[in-house]
Amino acid sequence: MNNLGFQDIIKKSVLKLANFSDLSMINILIGLSITLLVSLFIFYIYKITFEGVVYSHSFNTSLVLLSLITSLVIMTISSNIVLSLGMVGALSIVRFRAAIKDPKDIVFMFWAIATGIASGAGIYTVSVGGSLFIGMVLIVMSSKKFQHSTYLLIIKYEDRVKESILPILNKLQYVLKSKTVSNQKIELTLELKRVGENTSFVETLSSIEGVDSAILVKYNGDYAE
């Protein structure tokens, strides 16, 4: 039984630097093609399951490129420990400062990177099968059956019409987020749980004399509590 030390592994890797020529262009194209197909699947899933305020086509496109670049990196370093250590050192000086507001965007980034790693290493069953499974989970969890939409209802009204407003609000499931009183006028910010498609109560509130405004906004976590 051969017991190789760390120094022996390094020496062996250095001696095998020429083995990169064995990676044929066909294998590279196959790996990149599979990575592209899977990353386009991620692109599609992100687009149909997006629930934020403004959809970013640029970010979604970057997921495809991230998978392809990761695949190329893995193809380069997978067969030699010396280059892998050098790549770790090179990447350690890179700083990413892009602001990620939606936690789910981070999940998609890790998904794209994992796909590139699996495809670059030639483990296509993990790349394809895992992505199909994750995609189905995301579609199911994003369906209306599992969604619990949250809205913010902002009402500004005169204090004298409080008795007309309370019966309407009592029919809704809400949590009081803030209340501002000034010059006999009140502004309420309410968090509504799963309003559904029926938002006629907004028009009803607005039609009451003494109500200055009634605004309904979908809450996605960007507002300060």
Number of folded domains that form the chain = 2
Q: Which of 109, 142, 175 is the last residue of a domain?
A: 142
Query: What's the mean per-residue pLDDT of the chain?
Result: 78
CA separation for the pair 25, 20 (Å, rounded): 11
Residues 48 and 133 in one domain: yes
Residues 90 and 25 in one domain: yes
User: Is residue 108 a contact partner of residue 49, using CB atoms and an 8 Å limit?
Assistant: no
User: Is residue 160 a contact partner of residue 121, using CB atoms and an 8 Å limit?
Assistant: no
In a domain, 224, yes or no: no
Residues 103 and 184 in one domain: no
Structural domain for 28, as ranges: 6-142
Residues 193 and 100 in one domain: no
Residues 168 and 133 in one domain: no
Residues 82 and 27 in one domain: yes
Structure tokens at 213: 């405004």
| Per-residue pLDDT tens digits for 26-74 | 888 898 999 999 999 999 999 988 877 678 888 899 999 999 988 888 8
Residues 36 and 122 in one domain: yes
What is the CATH classification number for the domain harbouring 158?
A: 3.30.70.260
Which runs of E-coded beta strand occur in the chain? 150-158, 174-182, 185-193, 211-218
Say whether pTM exceeds 0.75. no
Please determine, for residue 82, whether its predicted confidence score (pLDDT) is greater than 90.
Answer: no
Please provide residue 96's backbone torsions phi and psi, each rounded to the nearest 5 degrees: -105, 120
In a domain, 223, yes or no: no
Residues 122 and 77 in one domain: yes
| Per-residue pLDDT tens digits for 97-142 | 666 677 788 889 999 999 998 988 888 999 999 999 999 998 888 7
